[in-house]
Structure 1
Amino acid sequence: MILFRAESGDIKEYVFQSRITPTGTYREYLESIPEDNPLYCKVTIENNLEKVRGLNIRSIGLFLFGELKDALIFSSKIYHGNARIYTVAIEEQSIMHIGDMNVLDAITTALQLGLHKNDRDSFDGFCSHYWKKGKTFSPCYEYIVKQAVVQELICTTEECAEFDREYMESTFVEHSNIYRQKLLQIYRQNKFKF
């Protein structure tokens, strides 16, 4: 199965057939966020997701995307364009979970509205919805896997930075020249079926 990996541009570029495994830095990052920081909501969400599931695969997994557009949006949202995007191959048995990232956004909104304090059952229900592969109107699927093997660098740091500029101006992935060029490149290489 071929998926997409968005990686920080600060990390050394992967070469063909590099095996990528989780680094554990996500948990370290969460633990470094002070309680008075607005980003601390991520810690609350991850802790609640872990509590509801009884297992924390999100902090021990590798995050991939099923679609190029989702990897590009993630590269802009998290790395602000300082990223690279690769196609990677995985074995199906490596998949630990497939979840809709938009459900995580709904959980964030519920947290900001105080639902985790005022209506704990409903808040836990949102978290449970994520683990039960619940989806939204326009799902953004993240694949949490044990490992992946790099196939190709699809977007360089320069291209991700250009996408970030275009995306910030239009907020539509489909309006981005980089997205259209890369989609055409992938189509021509017959790596994916459309």
Structure 2
Amino acid sequence: MRMSGLAEATGVPVATLKYYLREGLLHAGRATSRTQAEYDNSHVERVRLVRALTEVGGLSLATVGRVLAVIEEPNLERTEVLGAAQRSLLGVDRVAIPPRDVEEPWAQSRTHAWLAGRGWLVDPRDPVVEDLDRAWSACDAAGIGLDEARMDAYADAAEQIAVIDVDSVPPEPQAAVRQVVLGTVLVDPVLAALRRLAQQHTAVSREVSAQG
């Protein structure tokens, strides 16, 4: 198909498709002349993936570019999958973790103490731990009442989700990193929507039970 056909198949304007090509988000088509090229289903799938990552996942085009680069990395080992996925989403070449012999004031934070008590096998210097610390502090500031017991209950549910996630990861490294990255970005909105629907269901069910 020509560029116009690709635009029709994906619902993305020609100007946007040309921008994707210039930025490397879309691979080049098969040249048929100096100014024309043919595109196939792989281009349709790529455009739909870019749209999903931006519109559903909420990623910037720059982050999408990093994600696509990681997915297409030919020499990625399976042991590097989680790190590569995290780096692509954080927008860094590597996760910045300070050496262990430096002073570690973060070790006294509420989140680190909770993680240690929980016994989770995570690196306490992981940037995601800092994200959790900030989010928990914001909940405290808002008076939501997110104490350790409630956090434990959330963590129990999160572990069940994590088991489903990890069990879904295929053994081949390239497929694995695609699953991890895209699963993280695109399934997060699914989980958020399910939580809200479950809240509605639970509230209504309890009200019905009370009336009965």
TM-score, structure 2 normalization:
0.24
Instruction: Identify the structure with the greater helix proportion.
Output: 2
The structure number with the bigger radius of gyration is 2
TM-score, structure 1 normalization:
0.25
